[in-house]
Amino acid sequence: MGSQKKYKTGILFYDVSMNQMDIQFDDETMYGGLHHGECLEVKVSDCWIPVRIELNTDWCILDENDNEIDMGIHWLDARKEMEV
């Protein structure tokens, strides 16, 4: 029987100590650092949209059409599909 997947939700933020984007989940656990090219979803105007993390001169998130999404102060609602 294959593993199941579910979404864990939390806050996307820039972790200065790791120099990486990370997610602090609602259960207070951490994802452990996102790498460039990694996919997740962020909430924009109350809608979840698929994005990926990229690193140019700074970390950014791109939608599926490669448009950059304004991260403001690097705190966005985020969710990541996880195996359970």
Per-position pLDDT tens, the chain of length 84? 566 779 999 999 989 999 999 999 999 999 999 999 999 999 988 999 999 999 988 888 999 999 998 766 567 899 999 876
Closest by CA position to 66, among listed 56, 57, 76: 56
Distance in angstroms (rounded) separating the CA atoms of residues 41 and 80: 6
Give the dihedral of Cα atoms 57, 43, 35, 39; nearest 10 deg.
Answer: -120
pTM to 2 decimal places: 0.84
Residue type, 43: K
- Check if CATH label 2.40.10.390 holds for domain 5-83: yes
